Each structure stands twice: as C-alpha cells, then as structure tokens.
Structure 1
C-alpha cells in the first residue's frame, strides 16, 4: 500500500478520534470538580459551555496546527462532519424535550465566532488562553469570575496541547 492510501485511510480514523476526544467529559469534569460552586445552576452552565469550548478548540487546533498541510482540509472536514451529526442528534433530542427548535451546530458556530473575535481583539497577548479564559467567563455570565476564567483557560490549553500532541509529525506550525 502506498503512503497516500495509508493517509487516506488514516484521515477518517483521525477525524473520529479527535471528535471522540472533543466530546469526552472526563477531563472537563476534573476541571469543574475543582471549582467552588455555591449555586448548582452555575455548574450546569459551565458544563454546557466548557463542552462547547472543547469542541471548537479541537476544530481550531486542527486548522491552526496543520497550517498549509494537505491534511488540514480533509481532517477538518472529517472532524466537523462528526460534530454536525452529533449536533443534529443533540438538537433533535433537546428540541423534543423543551418543545422548541434548537440548532446546536448553529450555537457552536456562534461561539466559534465569539472566541475568534476575542482572540482578534486581544492584541499584544502572546498566549491565546489569556483571551479565551475571560471570554469563556463572559459567556458563562461573569467575565470577572477568576475560577471560571481559569476553567476556560485550562480547558483551552489542555485541548490545544492534546491536539498538537495527537497530530505529532503532521504539525506544520512551530510551537
């Protein structure tokens, strides 16, 4: 088998593995379990938003670390196709539960735009997590909550580092 054939077979597998990582809740719960919660509803909101942050961070990391690589488009497409299918299932279930239409994929796109805007407006910051943490806290309801800022920053950094490690030799961006 040629290297091209191996790569063609590896892209769907890698897209699925990165998607499974994006929706895994283990380390999200580890981060959240260390936060003080005086109101149970706050934990629910943070769980919801940290899952969104995790998913879009994986997608962002794929695009960022693969730079000009020929793998960037097919791997990104595989990942986002899994996210779209997951979103459709989640949207359908949630819509039936609450009795109104919910488009989870649209929510993901809105949050991606929100975080990209936060990064764009953070001129002079060399660590993206310094912009993502406060933006995460803002979407959770309190941009100045140090614990929430830390949770968002930790999730972002952990996710980015894990994707960079997973991509290994395919990474074309210095870092």
Structure 2
C-alpha cells in the first residue's frame, strides 16, 4: 500500500470513528446527569444543544489539531460527510414527526458559525472553553446560567482532549516520510 492509499484509508477510518464519537451520548448524559435537579426544566434544551456542541467541537478539533497535516482535509471531509448523512436522517424523521421541514445540518452550520464567531471575538485566548461555556449557556437560553456554562465548558474541554489524543495516534500511524505537508 502506497502512502496515498494509507492516508486515504486512515482518514476514512478516522472520519468514521470521530463521527461515532461525536454522536455518542454516553458522556453527554454523564454531564447532564450531574446538573442540579432544578435544571430539569431546561434539560431538553441542554440535551439538544450539547449534542450540537459535541459535533462542532469534534469538527473544530480536527481542523485545529491537524492544521499542518495531510490528514486534515480527508479526515474533515469524511467526518462532515457522516455528519451530513446523520443530519439528513434526523431532519427527515423530525420533519415527518412535526409535519414541517427541519434542516438539522443547517442548524449545525449556524451553531458552528456562532461558536467560531464567539472565539474570533475573544481574540487569542489560552482557554477557549472559557468562551465556549458562556456561549453554550446563551444558546440554551440564559447566558448567565452557571450550570449551563459549566456543562458547555466541560463538554468542549472533554471533546477537545479526546479528539487530540485520537488524532495524535492517527498521525503517529502515518508514514513519517512525506505524510506531513
């Protein structure tokens, strides 16, 4: 297998595995379950928004941690293709259920633009989670909600660290002679 085939196979596998990680609800539930009982009335919004934040965080982490690597574009492409297919399925199901057109992928894009814009406004900060947490709380309906801020910060931080570890292992699997560009 030549280096291009190896990178393509690695990127396809990484894109699929990161997609599965992005939609896995296990650790999302752990964060949500740790919220105080008074937050239960906000739980639906928190669950919806934390899933979006997780997807966006994985996509952001791919672009950030693979910025100078040949894997960046193919992993990004595989990841977002999986997200698009997932969003189409969700949109179809939700549209059928509520009797109106719903475009989940458009919502993902809107939230991505919102979070990237929020990070851009913050400038070169050392701890992006300090900006993402309040932004997450804002999407949940209350910018000053400390519990939602903490939940968003925790989800972002956990996701970024997990993706960084995963991508480092993927980069290490590459043939070091020419795999980086």
- When normalised by structure 1's length, the TM-score is 0.93
For 1:2-22, what per-residue CA distance to the aligned partner results, in whole angstroms no more than 9, with x for missing partners? 333222211111110000000
1:69 equivalent in structure 2: 69
Aligned residues: 171
Report the CA distance between 1:24 and its aligned residue. 0.1
Q: Give the Cα–Cα distance (whole angstroms) in 1 for the partners of residues 77 and 124 of structure 2.
A: 31
2:31 equivalent in structure 1: 31
Q: Give the Cα–Cα distance (whole angstroms) in 1 for the partners of residues 132 and 20 of structure 2.
A: 22
Q: List gaps (5 residues or longer) in structure 2.
A: 173-181
Give secondary structure in 1 for the equivalent of 2:69.
coil
1:150 equivalent in structure 2: 150
For 1:28-48, what per-residue CA distance to the aligned partner results, in whole angstroms no more than 9, with x for missing partners? 000000001325441111000
1:121 equivalent in structure 2: 121
Q: Give the Cα–Cα distance (whole angstroms) in 1 for the partners of residues 93 and 55 of structure 2.
A: 19
For 1:84-103, what per-residue CA distance to the aligned partner results, in whole angstroms no more than 9, with x for missing partners? 00000000000011111000
Distance 1:149 1:39, change over 3 A: closer
Matches within 5 A, 1:41-56: 41-56=41-56
Q: List gaps (5 residues or longer) in structure 1.
A: none
Report the CA distance between 1:124 and its aligned residue. 5.4
Give secondary structure in 1 for the equivalent of 2:37.
coil
Whether the aligned pair in 2 keeps the contact of 1:37 and 1:43 (CA below 8 Å) is no
1:100 equivalent in structure 2: 100
- When normalised by structure 2's length, the TM-score is 0.90
Whether the aligned pair in 1 keeps the contact of 2:8 and 2:74 (CA below 8 Å) is no
Q: Give the Cα–Cα distance (whole angstroms) in 1 for the partners of residues 152 and 124 of structure 2.
A: 20
Q: Give the Cα–Cα distance (whole angstroms) in 1 for the partners of residues 40 and 155 of structure 2.
A: 20
